[in-house]
Structure 1
Amino acid sequence: MTQGTLTGRTIVVTRPREQAAGLAAGIEAAGGHALLFPLLEITPVADLSAVHAVAHCLDDYALAVFVSPNAVAYALPALLAKRNWPAALQAAAVGPGTAQALAAAGVTRCLLPAERFDSEGLLALPELAAEKVSGQRVVIFRGDGGRELLTDVLRERGASVERVTCYHRSGPRDGFAPLEAAWARGALDGIVVSSSEALDYLLSGVSPAARARLQDTPLFVPHQRIAEIARQRGLTRIEQTGPADAGLLHGLVTYTRWTQ
């Protein structure tokens, strides 16, 4: 990373508080200022009985899908509290950050999309084709709400799918006033949004004046689906980057070099 590449640029990092440090540090190391404004607050479920129930019969599943690093953080410790990960159980991750979290916990055999890091990308893998999953038990560890595409398609392909909620998601606890004040001062040069849920909270929560400023602010997103949703919502200044912190930071630096 070239020192000073982002000098004078303020970038809003909207990831959950627990996942924002790495990208913020990279922005600061490149000379920029990272304004932390989590659009999602992540909290564990109060009752882990569903996770514990799966742990007792983990050997019966053919595939365990983790939809995010949060799913790993809030489900895997409970799953492995009294047993090891079954050697025959195939793990799957929607994105590289999730796969890295699994690997850090010792689950290294993991399916991962090659390009599109979302449910569509995972479902496109040959290992999840109908002839592979039909008749198999699949468990999906996820947050509350969210898309049902992965569940629906796997069931259509003949799999028996169980969904386990291991964390809750909610919008910004303190409202949007700090973000809108920074926009009003003209102090924002870009905003990073790394999930469609976060984008929904942003678009529904800001005032009309801030929404207008958002139209003029480069929006950096690491996934094709988020870019598609942003366009559907009427946003035009969208920069799709590579995945995870490294991809986002590379996209920020490349964009800044082009626009200096």
Structure 2
Amino acid sequence: MNILITRPSPYGEQLVNKLLSFGIFAYHLPLIYFSAGKTLSSLEQQLNLLSKGDFLCIVSQHAIKYAHRQLLNVGISWPTKLSYYAIGYTTSIKMYKLSGILVKYPIGQASSENLLRLPELMYSDGKRALILRGNNGRTILDDTLEKRGVLVSSCECYRRQLLQYNGEEESHKLLELNITTVVVTSGEILKQLYYLVPQFYRTSWLIQCKLVVVSPRLAKLAKYLGWKNIIIAQSAHNDVLTHVLIKNS
């Protein structure tokens, strides 16, 4: 089984090295990279609007990375009076390592839907919430909390930028590498890969590959695009992905 890893750097390289250590060939083709978000400079001001017990919701570890760097730059710490929530285990651990703050997260699949099932967020009328996110993200967290009576604001901590490739050349390279399994961790990356590969290779090779994704929502999109052999990992954590790939090799 030769595997294509599409995770952004540095997580993509780390996953490739982990798989190689198990004797599994993997090739890294990142399709996006990250940069600072447009409203990151307003983070301190937005945090100051929150009161004791208000919510701070974190949608990814990338949001934490850029937000924490911004607070360090302006010389302030994360407020301890807030209730912190993360979309999944990986994001929660990232926040704890950087700040020492314990962050609640849903057990099981890392998703906005699961996060919204936490009892504290179910009955939240009158609270404020600040959501740390990237650009062009889903708004189900914002929309649902607003319906529950929460005053919601968000901070674009990071931006996803597309990397440009020659689709014909990359397809030839991947075929020569005999890639038969593809790992994708977001809908944006999946669509970028799908439309990068020319139609002939898309139908004759790409959608015939085994596809590993990290949520039922992403699996649904992949099925719509034509994939049939789809495996759902419980999270985008590299240890989880490695276990799934070894198990299905």
Q: Tell me if TM exceeds 0.5.
A: yes
8 Å CA contact 1:123–1:150 kept in 2: the answer is: yes
- The correspondence for 2:199, drawn from 199, 208, 232, is 208
What do the CA deviations read for 1:219-259 (whole angstroms, capped 9, x no partner)? 11122221122112221111112321111111100111xxx
Q: Which residue of 1 aligns with 2:107?
A: 114
Q: 1:74 to 1:175 in 2, by over 3 A?
A: farther
Letter in 2 for 1:154: L
Q: Which residue of 2 aligns with 1:142?
A: 133
Aligned positions, number: 246
Instruction: Give the superposition deviation at 1:119.
Output: 1.0
Instruction: Give the superposition deviation at 1:75.
Output: 1.0
2:53, 2:121 → 1: CA distance? 14
Q: Does 1:245 align with 2:224?
A: no
- The correspondence for 2:98, drawn from 100, 105, 111, is 105
- The correspondence for 1:231, drawn from 216, 219, 223, is 223
What do the CA deviations read for 1:131-183 (whole angstroms, capped 9, x no partner)? 2x211110011111121111101100110000111111122233434531233
Alignment of 1:137-216 (within 5 A): 137-185=128-176, 187-212=178-203, 213-216=205-208
2:166, 2:140 → 1: CA distance? 30
Q: Does 1:50 align with 2:28?
A: no
Letter in 2 for 1:82: G
2:105, 2:48 → 1: CA distance? 26
8 Å CA contact 2:129–2:153 kept in 1: the answer is: yes
Instruction: Give the superposition deviation at 1:40.
Output: 1.6
SS in 2 for 1:110: coil
SS in 1 for 2:248: helix
RMSD value over aligned CA atoms? 1.9
Q: Which residue of 2 aligns with 1:66?
A: 58
8 Å CA contact 1:67–1:93 kept in 2: the answer is: yes
Between 135-144 and 39-48, report the one with greater CA deviation.
39-48
What do the CA deviations read for 1:99-154 (whole angstroms, capped 9, x no partner)? 1210111243212111121111111111210x2x2111100111111211111011
Q: Which residue of 1 aligns with 2:78?
A: 85
* TM-score, normalising length: structure 2: 0.90
2:86, 2:223 → 1: CA distance? 26
* TM-score, normalising length: structure 1: 0.87
8 Å CA contact 2:165–2:196 kept in 1: the answer is: no
SS in 2 for 1:117: coil
Over the matched positions of the two proteins, sequence identity in percent amounts to: 28
Letter in 1 for 2:210: P
SS in 2 for 1:112: coil
8 Å CA contact 1:55–1:79 kept in 2: the answer is: no
- The correspondence for 1:14, drawn from 6, 25, 46, is 6
1:32, 1:137 → 2: CA distance? 47
2:229, 2:248 → 1: CA distance? 12
Give the gaps of 5 or more residues in structure 2: none
- The correspondence for 1:36, drawn from 21, 28, 31, is 28
* Structure 1 residue ranges (4+ consecutive) displaced by more than 6 angstroms after TM superposition: none
Q: 1:117 to 1:71 in 2, by over 3 A?
A: same
